[in-house]
Amino acid sequence: MKISKITVQKKRKDRYNIFTVENQQEQYAFSVDEDVLVKFQLKKGKELQPDEIERILQADQLRKAVNDAVHYLSYSMRTEQQVIEYLLKKEYTNNVISQAMSKIKDYGYTDDTEFAGAFVRTKMKTTDKGPLLIKEELRRKGVSEEKTEKAMEQFTPEQELEAAQRVVQKKAASKKNESLQAMKQRLLQSLRQKGYSNEAAVQAVGKLSVQRSEEEERQAVRVQGEKAKKRWGKKYTGRQLEWKLKEFLYRKGFSMDVIQQYLQEVEQWEDENDGKTI
């Protein structure tokens, strides 16, 4: 098989179409990257053997894989695993991907240690995520346990507590008409969901300084009590309804003293208004 013509592709100036003549008929054979063209000294009139064509095509696949990887990395830093998964989606063989990754690492385009360090610093500066959540994200991106732990050393226990306290201050007043205890439980749950350790979460909530007047607590229990009455008032009456209200409000974090005061208010109001509910 002899090369009869080589043309530059219209949309990709770095790729070339190779045409060959066989049985006096010219036909398109394959296309190659410019580097592959030079490496194999492809030119018009060159005779090609089947085994040589196979090597050319393999070299071109490798070149394409490397180019795709570099293009993928040009948008942002990636882990080695992310690049591998990207090339798999492009349907490259495992052998080609292995060779491409070797070249990519030789070029210094991927470095999981550097990636992990930069990832942790960015998350610390731009999000309110805790270290456990950040660590899990690194693992999902394919960063090894050793490199993940090394990168997480930047997120010291002191910094974790400071970050947790910022979350607490931000979320402390986000809901009205809840008991102080319910608010603290909500904050603990939020911190744990965001990836803070139980120790840091408890300390941050414990350091929270919330000034809650007796009147604010009574107002909160009234609001929650009315919700409970709407829920249970048609099904229960008398002592049964009272126990349902107590159970509901106690679960909401109100003290028994506050609950009892509320129930006395309700009873007094109903007595003064001929049994009508508030």
The pLDDT confidence band at residue 48, using thresholds 50, 70 and 90, is very high
174 has a pLDDT exceeding 90: no
Domains 156-212 and 213-278 equal at CATH topology level = yes
Helix axes of 94-107 and 80-89: crossing angle, nearest 10 degrees: 140
**Confidence band, pLDDT 50/70/90 cuts, at residue 228:** confident
DSSP codes of every residue in the chain = -EEEEEEE-SS-TTEEEEEEEETTEEEEEEEEEHHHHHHTT--TT-B--HHHHHHHHHHHHHHHHHHHHHHHHTTS---HHHHHHHHHHTT--HHHHHHHHHHHHHHT---HHHHHHHHHHHHHHH----HHHHHHHHHHTT--HHHHHHHHTTS-HHHHHHHHHHHHHHHTTSS-S--HHHHHHHHHHHHHHTT--HHHHHHHHHT------HHHHHHHHHHHHHHHHHHHTTT--HHHHHHHHHHHHHHTT--HHHHHHHHHHHHHHHHHTTT---
* pLDDT exceeds cutoff 60 at 277: no
- pLDDT-based confidence at 177, cuts 50/70/90? low
For residue 1, what pLDDT is reported?
Answer: 84
- For 156-212, which CATH class? mainly alpha
pTM given for the model? 0.68
Segment 229-273, tens digit of pLDDT? 787 777 777 788 778 888 877 777 777 877 788 778 777 766 666
Q: Return the CATH number of 213-278, one of 3.40.50, 1.10.1760, 1.10.10, 3.90.380.
A: 1.10.10
Give the model confidence (pLDDT) of 73-121 as tens digits.
998 899 999 999 999 999 999 999 999 999 999 988 999 999 999 999 9
Q: For the chain, give every domain's residue range.
A: 112-155, 156-212, 213-278
Q: What is the mean pLDDT of residues 46-57?
A: 94
The residue that leads in pLDDT, 49 or 177, is 49
CATH class of 112-155: mainly alpha
